[in-house]
Amino acid sequence: MINKIKILFDLFVDGFKGIVMSFFSSRKDRYGYLAETANIRTPVWGPKQNIYIYEHCGINADAKFICQVGKFIMRRNCSVGPSLTLITFNHKYTVVGQRPEADGWGELEASDVIVNEDVWIGANVTLCPGTIIGRGSIIAAGSICVKNQVYPPYSIIGGNPSKFIKFRLTLEEQILQEQLLYNESDRINIEILKENYNSIKRI
């Protein structure tokens, strides 16, 4: 009898936690910035005061924000599959003689994560501290974008650790894409597109 009561009590507590998390994870005032046209599906886990989501972005359910320090910035028109994991800080792991969870382990190093415009992120992707995703890129499902990695615009990215696979558009298509979708003042300079395209094609 006691075991049944305990099971019922545990179910009640878990259900109550789920309701609370769904409510609080959907509150826009918890975010650093959440555009009116952004759509974040609940539940969402973790602190949100350093999360900045701009217009017409969508993030599917079960995103995990590990961002007590450092910022996550997602620019306009991005789409994210379920179970995104986002990390914007690390512990100082280069101190000689230090152990995990010992004194000093709680000192955190912030490193912002930035996802630029028109990026498509698949399911179960992890973005590690310092990751910068270039405009118009695609990240394959299950990818882990490692610390301090910068991916150029219009990349296809995948793997663990994630690597540049190829450009999703030719150089000429990238230039046309910029002209069709962006105001002149917002376009990536053609010389930068050329430099990115030619340097990576030689790798």
Residues classed as catalytic: 91
Q: Which residues contact 158 (CB under 8 A, 6 or more apart)?
A: 139, 140, 143, 165
What residues pair up with 44 in beta bridges, in sequence order? 63
Q: Which residues contact 80 (CB under 8 A, 6 or more apart)?
A: 57, 58, 59, 60, 63, 74, 121, 125
Rounded Cα gap, residues 57 and 78, in angstroms: 5
Backbone conformation region of residue 117, classed left if phi is above 0, alpha if psi is from -120 to 50, else beta: beta
In contact, 157 and 141? CB cutoff 8 Å: no
Burial-class residue 156 by CB neighbours within 10 Å (0-12, 13-18, 19+).
middle
Cα distance from N-terminal residue to C-terminal residue, the chain: 68
Q: Please give the backbone phi and psi of residue 173, each rounded to the nearest 5 degrees, phi first.
A: -70, -35
